[in-house]
């Protein structure tokens, strides 16, 4: 079954706790957290104080997407922030391939902290690294917008890249997350290309309908 990971980047931060709980009630499978540092991407967002505040409010896994330079400096802080009396073994922490010179070391470290390691690729970054990382990751994030902001349009040219990721991953137990510009209208096509987890920010939190209904609409779109 395809999983849906609402990105809280588009949530109403004045009532974030309530919003993540509504996402879980609406059938979200993970809570996607976009961490941005103002260097790797031109925006600054969420630190461990925020993940610490919301982690105890949900029972579904946290999916932490680090869009920061030197991610190794902060992995421990983020894992500790969500390790608040819950099972962290299903939580995910992903780093960008563009930010790490020693990817294996960083991915191994993420695993040693007891969470699931992932690697993310910007739209312009070739997938070539992926084949060498298959034993070290449990998820791969294919960015379908240039990271930094919610509400951008899906880059159509990424469909073949998702298909290629599917081929490289083969039958290994690695989730393929597609992140950026996912909507009710394109969700089915993205799943057909090989995605197993859809990240959706504005399609969940900024559409006119309720958070719960927006998640249901995406789920219905991929079940057709």
Question: In the complex, which residues of this chain contact ligand DX5 (CB under 6 A)?
Answer: 7, 9-10, 32, 34, 65, 145, 147-148, 150-152, 179-182, 199-203
| Interface map 53-82 toward Zn ion (x if CB under 5 A) | ------------x-----------------
How many Å apart are CA 150 and CA 157, to the nearest integer?
19
DSSP 185: T
| Number of residues engaging Zn ion in binding (CB under 5 A) | 3
How many Å apart are CA 218 and CA 204, to the nearest integer?
9
Name which of 51, 46, 50, 2 is nearest 28 in CA terms.
2
Task: Report, in Å, the least distance between residue 222 CB and Zn ion.
Answer: 19
Q: How far is CA 180 from CA 75, 89, 90, 194, in A?
A: 23, 25, 22, 15
Task: Report, in Å, the least distance between residue 63 CB and Zn ion.
Answer: 8
| Interface map 178-197 toward Zn ion (x if CB under 5 A) | -x------------------
Task: Report, in Å, the least distance between residue 179 CB and Zn ion.
Answer: 4
Name which of 124, 128, 167, 126 is nearest 145 in CA terms.
124
End-to-end CA distance of the chain: 12
- Nearer residue to ligand DX5 within complex by CB, 9 or 54: 9
Task: Report, in Å, the least distance between residue 135 CB and ligand DX5.
Answer: 25
- Nearer residue to ligand DX5 within complex by CB, 97 or 171: 97
| Residue tagged 């240039």 (tokens) | 146
| Residues involved in catalysis | 34, 179
- Nearer residue to ligand DX5 within complex by CB, 99 or 202: 202
Name which of 126, 63, 75, 64 is nearest 105 in CA terms.
75
Q: Is 37 in the site for Zn ion (CB under 5 A)?
A: no
């Amino acid at each position: 079954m395809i999983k849906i990971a609402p990105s809280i980047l588009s949530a109403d931060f004045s009532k974030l706790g309530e919003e993540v709980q509504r996402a879980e009630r609406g059938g979200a499978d993970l809570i996607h957290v976009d961490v941005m540092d103002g260097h790797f991407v031109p925006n600054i967002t969420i630190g461990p104080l925020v993940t610490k505040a919301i982690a105890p409010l949900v029972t579904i896994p946290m999916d932490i997407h680090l869009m920061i330079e030197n991610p190794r400096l902060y992995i421990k802080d983020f894992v500790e922030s969500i390790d608040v009396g819950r099972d962290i073994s299903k939580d995910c922490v992903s780093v960008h391939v563009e930010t790490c010179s020693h990817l294996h070391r960083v991915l191994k470290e993420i695993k040693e902290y007891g969470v699931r390691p992932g690697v993310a690729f910007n739209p312009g970054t070739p997938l070539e690294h992926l084949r060498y990382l298959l034993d070290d990751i449990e998820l791969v994030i294919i960015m379908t917008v240039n990271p930094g902001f919610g509400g951008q349009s899906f880059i159509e040219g990424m469909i073949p890249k998702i298909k290629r990721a599917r081929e490289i991953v083969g039958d290994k137990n690695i989730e393929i997350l597609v992140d950026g510009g996912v909507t009710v209208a394109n969700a089915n096509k993205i799943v057909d290309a090989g995605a197993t987890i859809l990240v959706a920010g504005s399609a969940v939190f900024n559409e006119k309908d309720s958070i719960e209904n927006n998640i249901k609409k995406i789920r219905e779109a991929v079940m057709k």
